[in-house]
Copies of this chain bind each other. A is one copy, B any other.
Amino acid sequence: MHVPAALLSAQTAAILRAWGLDDDSVAATVEVMLYADLRGIESHGFSTMTLYDEYRRSNKLTLRPQVRVVRETPVTALVDGDGGLGHLPSQRAMQLALDKAAKCGVGVVSVRNSNHFGAAGAYAMMAPPRGLIGYVTSATWRPGIVPTFGAEAMLGTNPIAFAAPGRNGPPFCLDLATSTVAFNKVKMAAWHGKELRPGWAMDANGQPLTDAAAAVKSIRLTPLGGLPEMSSHKGYGLATMVEILSTTLSGSFFAATRSKDHPDAPRHNVGHFFLALDPKAFAEEGEFESGLDEMLAALRGTRRADENQPVLVAGDPEREQFEARSRDGIPLSDEMRRTLRGLSEAVGAPWLLG
C-alpha cells in the first residue's frame, strides 16, 4: 500500500494533536518525519511515532513546550527546547544559524533540553536552498555505541549531517550515524532471521555478536570501523566529538550517566549542534557551487570496480527515493498501518487511511 505524503502527514498530525501537542510542535514534527519517509530513511520517518508515544506515556515529554533563545550574539545562540520533541527547537535553531550566516558569514546555534529530533539531514538540508552550508550533530537519549575496548554502550549513535549547495546539480547531503550500522539495520536482520556481520554489534562481554535477535536486546553497536584492527577508534572518536559538540557545549545530559547523575530529572535533556556557513564569505559568488558540481561529477564518473554498480555521492540514494515517493506515495507496510491505527484509536484521533 502506497499512501500520498499529504494524507500520511495529516494522519500523523491528527495523532500528535490528540496527544495534546501544540500546532507548532505538530507542524515541525510532521515535516521532519516526512522528510525522512520521502527519502527512504524509514527508521526516522513516521515509524518513530511509537518511540514518541513511549516518551509521552512515561511522562518524558513536554507537550506544549516554550522554546526560547537563552543566550545570543550576532553569530551564536543557545536555544532551550523545554523538554519537548526535538524537531521544533531544531528547526528554529537551524533557521537562526542560517540567518546569522547569511548576515555575518557564519552562525552557530546550540540546543539543550531537547529530545529525539528525527533525521539530522533534515536540518542540514535547510541550508542549500539559501545558498549556505549546513553542519549538524546530535546526541541521543539512549547510549548505543560501545567505546573501542569497552563492554557497555556509552555514546549515542550520534549523527553527523552536512549539506552544501551545488550550482546546476543537486546539493551534497551527508547524514550518518557514527555507529557502523544504524540500530534499525540490526532490527531488520533480526526480523528477516539473518546473521549480522562480525563487527556490527557486541555482546555484554564486548565481543562481536552475530545473532541479530540477541543484538537487538544487547543494544551495543560498534563505532564506525567496527573492529579495533579496522580502526573502530576513529568512529569512537567521532562519536565522542559529536557528544562534546551536542551535549557538553549545550549543557545537556550525558545519556550514559543521566540516571546516576540526574535520577529525578523529568526529561531526557538531549543536546544538538547547528552550524551554518556562507560560501560567499570565502569565495566569489557562484564559485563554490560550480566547484562542488565539478567535484561531485568527477566522483560519480570515476572508474567503477563493477561496471554495473555506479559510484554514488552522499545524498544520491535518498534523492532517487524522493523522486519515486513524491510521485507514487510512501509505502506503508501492514504492520506500520496497524501501528498507526492503534496509536490513533488509543487517543480517539480520526482515522484517515481507509
Contacts and interface: CB of A to CB of B under 8 A. Distances in A.
Interface of A: 71, 73-76, 78, 104-106, 108, 110, 133, 147-152, 154-155, 160, 162, 164, 172, 174, 176, 180-181, 197, 199-200, 202, 205-207, 224-226, 229-231, 233-238, 240-241, 243-244, 247-251, 254, 256-257, 277, 279, 281-283, 287-288, 291-292, 294-295, 298-299, 302-306, 309-314
Contacts of A133: 244, 249
27 contacts: A73-B104, A74-B104, A75-B75, A75-B104, A75-B106, A76-B106, A76-B281, A105-B108, A106-B108, A108-B281, A149-B305, A149-B312, A150-B311, A155-B299, A206-B305, A206-B306, A224-B234, A225-B226, A244-B295, A247-B291, A247-B295, A248-B292, A249-B279, A251-B283, A251-B288, A257-B294, A257-B295
A290 to B, nearest CB: 9
A121 to B, nearest CB: 11
A170 to B, nearest CB: 14
Nearest to A222: B230
A162 to B, nearest CB: 5
B149 A310 contact: yes
User: Chain A's interface: helix, strand, loop or mixed, by majority?
Assistant: mixed
A180 to B, nearest CB: 5
Contacts of A150: 299, 302-305, 311
Number of copies: 2
A244 B181 contact: no
A185 to B, nearest CB: 9
Contacts of A155: 299
Nearest to A203: B305
Contacts of A282: 71, 76, 78, 110, 249-251
A77 to B, nearest CB: 8
Contact of A302 (B152, B174, B205, B231): B152
A303 to B, nearest CB: 5
A231 B180 contact: yes
A92 to B, nearest CB: 16
A25 B164 CA distance: 34
Contacts of A294: 254, 257
A294 to B, nearest CB: 7
A147 B311 contact: yes
A248 B282 CA distance: 10
Given A75-B104, A106-B76, A199 B251 contact: no
Contact of A154 (B206, B291, B292, B302): B302
